[in-house]
Structure 1
């Protein structure tokens, strides 16, 4: 099977973005499954660790805008193909300056990416079985396959991967022909959005199937009143939408991978090591980790509401957050006032945070994840890979695949779930339930930890196996 992948972000960046990381992991897993995958993304030279190993392997002219393009590759990075045009991708930022307006010609830039990718695939003789586009920046490849490149890919199934529904790019209707969209589909059931063109809707419109990063996120999108009436469009296309859980790399997140100790022993060892590092004695308390990054949603608000009640429990709270976060001073002041109850764990950006996050998850007993926004909820998967039980909502991302603890489900449980993770009283009550099991039902707790650590085990290869099953159901 041959799959052509188009993404606005991917490859060997110095500090990979969440989207680039996900696309990279998917690409690796495709290759491990024996798929001949060509993943094409822009060559952002400023973002790479070292470009000396990369060289131009092809030059051509794409058909949509008639612009020249270069194809760059590296022997050390064989699964990724990079499209370069200095006018479009020689800029300092991917989409535009941070905290400023995006580049006004982003639609032209990423239409060029899609066109150049299809041009190169055709001219290099790549006979793709399917095309996969990521996010709005990879959405236009589906339309261009049916218009500008119909002789090459007009009958090739297009799959669109929506990592986060909140990201989109809108342009005036006058720009339709410039990006290769069929004018007849400029309507509410097509890619029209309040009189403008939605690139996200364009991707969904021309997709055979639309893939979301978790079953829970797919269901939430269909049952949430999204702004602008987008929920109506999604429900109109509900048969296309599939939630496929993104995985995590256990090679990265399994802290016990090398020693391979019994998980109870490994976690006890990790907890002692963290106490020594912090010079804090948890005093046999349940260790509760709260991850407050940009995807934490209302977790901080929920925690703050019940923090005073948590201090009355036999719990030690570790709050992971960026030093520049608005709530930093609040939690630091609390930690200084109650050092035997709470500690603030500084988060770093990008790959620099991997080791510290793995360390604190390994030493924790519970992950407190209230109404988080991350569609794939990878923080929950990372916690499970560390044998740490998530306390979260039953409708959040991967939670639909978890088994809630109850005395009658103790043998298979791997989480503590609430109906509404945005309700502080529900989270507090369930935390008390978890504490009771931790203290009084030790065998049940130990079994739940084993279930989380070795029973769930959701690698990226499982994600790709489901992708390939979807392709197989279409006869590919």
Structure 2
């Protein structure tokens, strides 16, 4: 049995801004089910939602600050969660990284440096918890200083650093290094320095014993200039300790057979019942209730990375076809406005809800026929996996985890029953439109469509599969 300290800046259902929280809420549980001793550590934000008792464990003095360590449990599990409690840094409105206006907190370097230092104290068994991990598993830039600081310790545990999205690097002005009182031996171009900036993510990429990312294709992509965000040289240099392990999805939360957030449950044998959820969306969004036109769904950030501009460029052509479109998300104000304008012009074809709404997200997955995910890059992506599980066929660009999880519908994949969606190559509106047209043609053949839905619903995207690969990695360390 391995003792694993899982270091993350967010974990569902305690606090969530994106996919990192889903991973941090699910992977520790899957590892625990494989009989591993996993503890999760994260900052004690104001927004944390816990139905379990939170108790005081100890106080630690780090960087002339008195920091409390609290203990609770991950809801619906036995996993111990340690909360780094320093109200001046973490007890504030807004989300973990941004204020109410959507700007990064100006003291993020201090906030996450302190979090990393406390994680190191716990990892080195200096918090008097009488528990020391064999493996410290860090995630994204917010925990990037942990492997760097551990590299200076004697007899430190092995470290794993997972890249969830290389585009977010935790870059701060060079003078931050003094303010954070980081050891000088970490400050050089082969260390934490990145073009005269302090890079938190480099702490993980340079100093961790092993690097993982969230899909095999993304692991290869980030070693190229197109996706490496300036770090491709370093990743190429460390390619022997870099691998991609696909994220799983929480099958208890995302299951059309048991999902408490959808009005009508269904399974492969009762696929016709999916229709009720579709009618429910159409009513909810005030679209004509019509079973004969395909309903396209989109949930996600309305930003260029997600290819939202490609969709906007396609929309006049799309909306001239017999189809409907519902969107849920928020992001770039320009895109939000353009989408709202289009929804206003085509009220019987298109509807948009700005923001995030978990029950509505489940309803869109369950009630849509097609899910749009034309990302420019996508380290792993979860919605394309949720969609397949719900028999909602995804349209995706061939990149990252999308390439690894969706099998394009072609004559040969239809024949061998592996087809699960529609894949296009080029990040252009014309390529996306072509895929949409292919989906429209297939939708008109109800029998063929149901076959692809069945293929998709049979796929195994369980966390157990991913957890077994992580466990193998831990053992090799």
Instruction: Determine if the TM-score, normalized by the shorter chain, exceeds 0.5.
Output: yes
Report deviation, 1:136.
1.7
Q: Do the aligned partners of 1:292 and 1:299 also contact (CA within 8 Å) in 2?
A: no
Q: Do the aligned partners of 1:217 and 1:396 also contact (CA within 8 Å) in 2?
A: yes
Report deviation, 1:416.
0.8
Structure-1 residue corresponding to 2:359: 355
- CA offsets, 1:330-357, max 9 Å, x none? 44443444344x22131443xxx12111
1:379 to 378, 383, 406: 383
Structure-2 residue corresponding to 1:213: 214
**Inter-CA distance 200–176: structure 2 relative to 1 (3 Å threshold):** farther
Alignment of 1:142 onto 2:147: yes
Q: Do the aligned partners of 1:371 and 1:396 also contact (CA within 8 Å) in 2?
A: no
Q: CA RMSD in A?
A: 3.0
Give the SS at the match of 2:452: helix
Q: With structure 2 as the length reference, what TM-score do the two structures score?
A: 0.85
**Inter-CA distance 406–194: structure 2 relative to 1 (3 Å threshold):** same
Q: Distance in 1 between matches of 2:37 and 2:144?
A: 21
1:115 to 96, 99, 117: 117
Structure-2 residue corresponding to 1:55: 55
**Inter-CA distance 50–32: structure 2 relative to 1 (3 Å threshold):** closer
Give the SS at the match of 1:380: helix
Alignment of 1:345 onto 2:352: yes
Q: With structure 1 as the length reference, what TM-score do the two structures score?
A: 0.86
Give the SS at the match of 2:374: coil
Structure-1 residue corresponding to 2:438: 433
Matches within 5 A, 1:401-420: 401-410=405-414, 411-420=417-426
Give the SS at the match of 1:211: strand
Runs of 4+ in 1 over 6 A off after TM superposition: none
Report deviation, 1:213.
2.0
Which runs of 5 or more structure 2 residues have no equivalent in the other structure? Answer: 260-264
**Inter-CA distance 187–180: structure 2 relative to 1 (3 Å threshold):** closer
Give the SS at the match of 2:246: coil
Q: Distance in 2 between matches of 1:107 and 1:330?
A: 35
Q: Do the aligned partners of 1:7 and 1:134 also contact (CA within 8 Å) in 2?
A: yes
Q: Do the aligned partners of 2:302 and 2:331 also contact (CA within 8 Å) in 1?
A: no
Give the SS at the match of 2:252: helix
Give the SS at the match of 2:132: coil
**Inter-CA distance 293–280: structure 2 relative to 1 (3 Å threshold):** same
Structure-1 residue corresponding to 2:252: 251
Structure-2 residue corresponding to 1:241: 242
Matches within 5 A, 1:9-408: 9-10=10-11, 13=14, 18-44=19-45, 46-49=46-49, 53-62=53-62, 65=63, 67-74=65-72, 78-92=79-93, 94-95=96-97, 97=99, 98-100=101-103, 102-104=105-107, 106-121=108-123, 122=125, 123-147=128-152, 149-151=153-155, 153=156, 156-167=157-168, 168-172=170-174, 175=177, 180-181=182-183, 183=185, 186-225=187-226, 229-257=230-258, 259-261=265-267, 262-277=269-284, 278=286, 280-282=288-290, 284-294=292-302, 297=305, 299-322=307-330, 325-340=333-348, 342-349=349-356, 353-408=357-412
The aligned length equals 458
Report deviation, 1:83.
1.9
Q: Distance in 1 between matches of 2:313 and 2:163?
A: 33
Q: Do the aligned partners of 1:271 and 1:362 also contact (CA within 8 Å) in 2?
A: yes
Q: Do the aligned partners of 2:419 and 2:452 also contact (CA within 8 Å) in 1?
A: yes
Report deviation, 1:414.
0.4
Q: Distance in 2 between matches of 1:75 and 1:131?
A: 19
Structure-2 residue corresponding to 1:464: 467
